[in-house]
Amino acid sequence: MICAGVDAGSRAIKVALIDASDMTVVGSGMDNQGVDQEALSRTVFARALATSGVPANQVDKVVATGYGRNRVSFADTTITEITCHACGVRHVVPDAMTIIEVGGQDSKLIRLDGKGSVRDFSMNDRCAAGTGRFLEVVASRLGVGLETLGALAAQSRNPASISSTCVVFAETEIVGLLASGVAIEDIVAGVQTSIARRVVAMLGRNVQTPVVFTGGVALVPGMREAMEKAIEKPVQVAPDPQMTGALGAAILASRL
């Protein structure tokens, strides 16, 4: 039996296909989000089926999650991204206790109990200063690629202080730092530290390990180290961190 999870996130749509008999991933797909989420979801789903060689009539159940989950009309049901990320992360890191999920437009902190169920969570979806969007704005303003941010931050000896709590004001602050002659690497290090601190502020003092970092921002070089420094505890990046929500949705589909 093949089950599917569709994560219609704010910046990308992800699809995961699993064989419910052994919970192995047999296919996946991803594309940037667009205007017509329904059509794009179908396209990514069809592509995942085609590349994995799975006929559409062999898919037994489909669960949709993410911001656009209610637009995925071919799903059998919808489940919140909090539950799906918890399930997906626990599948790839069975002893995970704390999840940091940072995507393009929001960030989430999820605490699990010993059985892997969600104990509580915090979410920031009102400001992009603690999300991947901030990194995109900074990279564009500095004229560098996202993939170079980690190497630049590693060269910093005096990270800049980024105090603004809004991306728009922070961008203005960065322009001022550049005009003052602050090195690019110090600005990048300051931005990564700022994002990590904003995210970690939602955690509070009681952080149980293992801590697993997931979401698209987990792929940005230097962000795991920034999180570790802010938390003062080890942080590991989930395997294929952008897909944990879709994976969790597929696993939950197998339980319907």
pLDDT in tens, 44-77: 999 999 999 999 999 999 999 998 999 999 999 9
Q: Within this chain, do residues 27 and 142 fall inside the same structural domain, yes or no?
A: no
Instruction: Tell me the residue type at 167.
Output: V
Residue 126 confidence (pLDDT): 54
Percent of the chain with pLDDT over 90: 57
pLDDT bucket at 140, cuts 50 / 70 / 90: confident
Query: First vs last Cα of the chain: how many Å apart?
Result: 12
Q: For residues 209 and 234, is the Cβ–Cβ distance under 8 A? A: yes
Residues 23, 78 within the same domain: yes
* Mean pLDDT value of segment 16-40: 91
CA angle at 101 for the pair 34 and 87, rounded to the nearest 5°: 95
Asked if 118 and 183 sit in the same domain, the reply is: yes
Task: Write the pLDDT tens digit of every residue in 85-105.
Answer: 999 999 999 999 999 998 877
Given a cut of 90, is residue 34 above it in pLDDT?
Answer: no
pLDDT at residue 216 is higher than 90: no
Residue 32's pLDDT band (boundaries 50, 70, 90)? confident
Q: What is the β-pairing status of strands 118-124 and 211-214?
A: unpaired
Residues 78 and 102 both lie in one domain: no
| pLDDT higher than threshold 80 for residue 124 | no
pLDDT in the model for residue 195 = 84
Above pLDDT 70, what percent of the chain? 95
Are residues 124 and 82 located together in one domain of the fold? no
Same domain for 248 and 230?
A: no
Length of the chain (residues): 256
241 preceded by a cis bond (ω within 30 of 0): no
Q: Identify the CA nearest to 253 among candidates 20, 68, 83, 3.
A: 3
Q: Is the pLDDT of residue 142 over 70?
A: yes
**Residue 100's domain is classified under what CATH number?**
3.30.420.40
pTM, two decimal places: 0.89
Q: Are 137 and 188 in contact (CB under 8 A)?
A: no
Q: Note whether 233 and 247 are same-domain residues.
A: no
Number of domains in the chain: 2
Write down the pLDDT at residue 175: 85
Cα–Cα distance, 128 to 166 (Å, whole number): 7
Give the residue-averaged pLDDT of 113-140: 78
Where do we find the tokens 């560098």? 144
Work out the mean pLDDT of the chain and round it to a whole number. 89
- Between the alpha carbon of residue 240 and those of residues 3, 76, 218, 246, 251, the distances in Å are 19, 25, 9, 11, 16
Domain span including residue 71: 2-87+243-253
Query: What's residue 164's pLDDT?
Result: 60
Give the range among 115-124, 139-148, 221-230 with minimum mean pLDDT.
139-148
pLDDT in tens, 157-211: 899 988 766 666 777 888 888 888 999 999 999 888 888 888 888 877 678 999 9
